[in-house]
């Protein structure tokens, strides 16, 4: 079994619980989007622009030769910009941090994807998939769009009813949906849904912050390096 996904925390946890032996193919389009979200659409540094181009080329990898060429190009990029990536900046408290934080973050993300060996599962001949493995999860994303359309059509539902509507829609679009009597016997009660939602919320960043005072996993404050660089900004006065 091969699961094509965008790598969200929820799907990874579900895989460990339900299909622990399933192979994973990471959506190459989402990897490209993630790198673009970190670096921006028009990065300032040449190293960032080159990495963004490499990320976009991922979606064009279709065979072993293209995979080897992409990995070779990425490795050459790391070697070419090794010194640039290792540059540090001194913070006001005396501590050191990466000078090019966004670029290092994007580099580390691609390193993890390569190390996990989940980007090119679709080319592994040992997978037991029935047919060609897609490199993106566009099929399921189209289904998600239909679910969102359904919820927009039925505006005004409270949270519990929205969750029930999504469950009903997914069930009705399975290959062999059960009859209404089966649904009446096995459908989750409102109290069960509320309990599960509460548990999920308590484990979210927002829930942990409000309940236990645990700070968010990723900070939302101003980054010192966004406003302090080694290069003097033009047209300013001292």
pLDDT band of 77, cuts 50, 70, 90:
very high
Beta-carbon count within 10 A of 107 CB = 22
CA distance 93 to 80: 32
Backbone torsions φ then ψ of 81, nearest 5 degrees: -115, 25
> How high is the pLDDT of residue 235?
60
DSSP assignment string, 166-181? HHHHHHHTSSSPPPHH
Q: Are strands 96-98 and 88-90 parallel, antiparallel or unpaired?
A: antiparallel
Bigger pLDDT: 183 or 57? 57
On whether the CB atoms of residues 63 and 123 are closer than 8 A, the answer is yes
> How high is the pLDDT of residue 174?
86
- Count of alpha carbons within 13 angstroms of residue 205, beta-carbon side: 7
Q: Are strands 88-90 and 23-26 parallel, antiparallel or unpaired?
A: unpaired
Residue 98 pLDDT > 90: no
Which pTM value belongs to this model? 0.66
Q: Calculate the alpha carbon distances from 90 to 93, 98, 102, 105, 180 in Å.
A: 8, 9, 16, 18, 65
> How high is the pLDDT of residue 186?
84
* pLDDT tens digit sequence for 178-217: 888 888 888 888 888 888 888 887 777 777 777 666 655 5
Can you state the angle between helices 101-116 and 28-39, rounded to 10 degrees? Answer: 160
DSSP assignment string, 39-61? H-SS-SSHHHHHHHHHHHHGGG-
């Amino acid at each position: 079994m091969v699961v094509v996904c965008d790598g969200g925390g929820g799907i990874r946890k579900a895989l460990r619980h339900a299909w622990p032996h399933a192979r994973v193919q990471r959506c190459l389009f989402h990897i490209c989007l993630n790198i673009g979200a970190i670096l921006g659409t028009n990065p300032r540094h040449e190293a960032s622009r080159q990495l963004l181009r490499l990320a976009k080329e991922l979606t064009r990898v279709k065979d072993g030769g293209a995979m080897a060429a992409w990995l070779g190009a990425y490795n050459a990029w790391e070697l070419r910009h090794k010194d640039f990536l290792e540059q540090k900046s001194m913070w006001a408290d005396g501590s050191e941090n990466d000078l090019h934080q966004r670029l290092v973050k994007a580099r580390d993300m691609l390193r993890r994807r390569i190390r996990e060996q989940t980007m090119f599962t679709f080319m592994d001949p040992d997978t037991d998939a029935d047919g060609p493995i897609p490199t993106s999860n566009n099929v399921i994303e189209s289904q998600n769009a239909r679910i969102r359309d359904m919820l927009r059509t039925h505006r005004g539902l409270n949270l519990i009813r929205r969750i029930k509507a999504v469950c009903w829609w997914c069930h009705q679009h399975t290959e062999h949906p059960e009859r209404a009597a089966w649904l009446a016997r096995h459908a989750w009660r409102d109290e069960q849904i509320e309990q599960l939602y509460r548990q999920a919320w308590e484990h979210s960043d927002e829930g942990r912050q409000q309940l236990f005072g645990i700070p968010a996993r990723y900070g939302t404050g101003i980054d010192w390096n966004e406003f302090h660089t080694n290069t003097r900004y033009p047209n300013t006065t001292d």
